Structure 1
Amino acid sequence: MAGKVQVQKLTTLTGHRDCVYTLEQSGKNSTFFSAAGDGMVAAWNLNEPEIGELVAQVSSSIYALRYVPERNLLLIGQNQEGVQVIDLDNKQVLKSVALPKVAIFDICHVAGQHKAFVAMGNGGICVLNSESFELKTIIRKSDQSVRCLAYNTFSDELAAGYSDNTVRVFDAGSLDLKYELKSHTNSVFTVAYSPDGKLLLTGGRDAHLRVWEVEQEYKERGYLIAHMYTINHITYSPDGTHFATCSMDKSIKLWDAQTFKLLKVIDKVRNASHGTSVNKLFWSAHKNQLVSCSDDRTISVWDINLG
């Protein structure tokens, strides 16, 4: 089976002057955004990948970006500085939202409820109105960082991974805490719902990929020791049949979403991949290309042929 998956590196994108921490989709399959420790946000076009365009420059490092498709806005989480709202149509700052002066690790947007959730380094989740971008409330269930967020359209739930080793699941409408999942033995850095909303995948510093049954009140189905070190990010393929993980161990791994079988390892030795921690992935519907970014300041674009 594993031999069928072919991976080819198409290009390496350079231009960031510091670790590249995050990638985010845009309104077009072929375009995505990147942000880094240098405070720069760039837009890249997979049809002409070598040319990056500067979208915004902020004064601090950026771990979190979120695209708002209804209004063609980009939300930028500036560490210590709050959220900047960029109107992409005319490339202007629509609003700067002042928040507690801590790191911002993730941003999640729920269109139907006009809400944006912001994961904070002080253990709070800031809830913004995504029309006015006023701060509505802050949910605090821990004094340790909220590292990652994911929204489940089907169950209207928000999953949040924390540095206190816990995944907390909230009702996205009422903001009530529904479940606390406590199997991880270290910080939880990534949470991802399957496209059908039935599974929650979680990973983090313990290198364990854990699988939870959403409709069984988040009963744990099992786990895999997926990497040697921290799992930084999990993302599903556009058609939902596969998912990819990336790690501080410098590798990217491709998995079958049904069987959880490992299909391919992308690394420096075999594929001239990144030389340091791989921080984030973006799996584009554009020719099924997978994009990765790293502490090595580069972004790689991969052609994934699943056979």
Structure 2
Amino acid sequence: MDDLDRLHWLTQLLHGIEVGLVVIDRDYRVQLWNGFMENHSGIGAQQADQANLFSLFPELPDQWLKGKLEAAFLLESRAFTVWEQRPWVFPFSNSRPVTGELAQMHQNMTIQPLKDRNGLVSHAAIVLYDVSVQAQDRQQLSQANDSLARLSHQDTLTGLANRRLWHSLLEREFARCRRYQRDTTLLVLDLDHFKRINDHYGHSVGDAVLRQVGGMLGYQLRKGDVVARYGGEEFVMLLTETPHRNAQELADRLRQQLPTLRFDDAPDLSITGSIGICPYHPSLNSPEHWFELADQALYRAKRAGRDRILLADLPTETPV
């Protein structure tokens, strides 16, 4: 086996591998441009030969890439970049058609300093790896995880926050109120005689009622407020920066709006609700205590005849 055979084989390998390979000199002139670069750029090796890399590709991030190259020339050190840091260096289209494919080829890159026979760095090699498939898989996994995280905090029927998220938001708001003595009011709303609705009209109508009520609450509340489905036919709301008198006015509007809701599969159905209100007060000793007082007010409203609003009885002493 002679050296010419070895050189012939190496040349075939360099031009046939599925990795981009570019060698440049200290003036950024192209000395080697392999088949991968030809295929994905549309620029042939003869056209690229001795051309300035940044003239061939004005789209390149020149200051960033020159910084990487100069580190290789001056410090004789390899440099790396991955697609999570910079999705692509060379603006190549993604040539691997898969479902939901990325428009651009995502790339990892290595820059390798090359020494001449005297041991001096005279050239640098840019090695480009197509990682579009891996990038897409990672992005799809990340999107799936984000969706799962949203679902884990969302009530599937109404789209509101669920009980799990509600508890964490209540704890956060309680801590904020305790620290800054803010006006936040907690409302608990329960639909009256909801079991009768399910028994008489069926669970599909019951679900439609919950969806419409959830939509109404989400629409009526401000962006900074919190509304959640606590469970069954019970909804909870945190009205931030809202004294209890203003909260009572909103609660009364909600109570009056409930009977105006209409349902396609039950045109004769009219619903009402009872609401318990508890403003934040320094006498509250925990988020659970806050919710418990609002819930007690709600059940006093239901025992008093339903379709009404009652304010919680607050303790008179501030906890130590």
* TM-score bracket relative to the smaller structure: under 0.3
Tell me the TM-score normalized by structure 2. Answer: 0.20
Relative to total residues, which structure has the larger strand share, 1 or 2?
1
Tell me the TM-score normalized by structure 1. Answer: 0.21
Structure with greater Cα Rg: 2
Larger relative contact order (Cα-Cα within 8 Å, sequence gap ≥ 6): 1
